[in-house]
Amino acid sequence: MNTRIGRVAVLFSSVLAVAAPPALADDLSKTVVDVAVASSDHTTLVAALKAADYVDALRNPGPFTVFAPTNAAFEKLPPGTLDTLMKPESKATLEKVLQHHVLLSTYETKTFKDGQVLGMVDGKKATLHVRDGKVMIDDATIVGSVRCGNGIVHVVDAVVLAPATP
């Protein structure tokens, strides 16, 4: 009987390990911005945060959940999109794009439910999908997470775009 319970516990913990994206090295002494700045995979995101004047805002106590697109995620955007967003005259649009990657609370992947709808900082909604051990926000897969002093950063493989307003 005890052996059976032990096997069930091992199986259950294995399932849990598959169901969550890998945790990267947590650093509670850093802010969400510090985590992005320290990552060579997030130089485009950091440049966008600077262009939108959001660096100081995301260094505040929070708590924040940031879905942080990698450089490769930004490269998936249609040609010219990123260049246009980074222009000073596009600052308001860039702000909205970045706001759609932020929640004003801390959400860990283990709390996400399939079909859960999140209200993003831009006032629009994003939907979570939890399937086959993957957690997604709209069409972006969470590939890792880093807890930090003012929230959590979920690294995503695509830019999360708000639905078009009719």
H or E element in which residue 83 lies: helix 81-85
Looking at residue 21, what is its pLDDT? 44
Looking at residue 91, what is its pLDDT? 95
Nearest to 30 by CA among 42, 22, 38: 38
What are the φ/ψ torsions at residue 103 (nearest 5 degrees)?
A: -120, 145
Give first-to-last CA distance, the chain, whole Å: 60
* Apex 91 CA angle, 47 and 50, nearest 5: 25
pTM of the model: 0.82
Q: How far apart are CA 138 and CA 160, in angstroms?
A: 7
Return the DSSP state at 150: T
Q: Assess contact for 103 and 90: CB atoms under 8 A.
A: no
Instruction: Delimit the domains of the chain by residue range.
Output: 21-156
Return the DSSP state at 31: -
Q: How is domain 21-156 classified at the architecture level of CATH?
A: Roll (2.30)
Q: Assess contact for 159 and 74: CB atoms under 8 A.
A: yes
Looking at residue 29, what is its pLDDT? 79
Question: One digit per residue, pLDDT tens: the chain, 166 residues?
Answer: 443 333 333 333 333 333 344 445 666 778 999 999 999 999 999 999 999 999 988 888 889 999 999 999 999 999 999 999 999 999 999 999 999 999 999 999 999 999 999 999 999 999 999 998 899 999 999 999 999 999 999 999 999 998 876 5
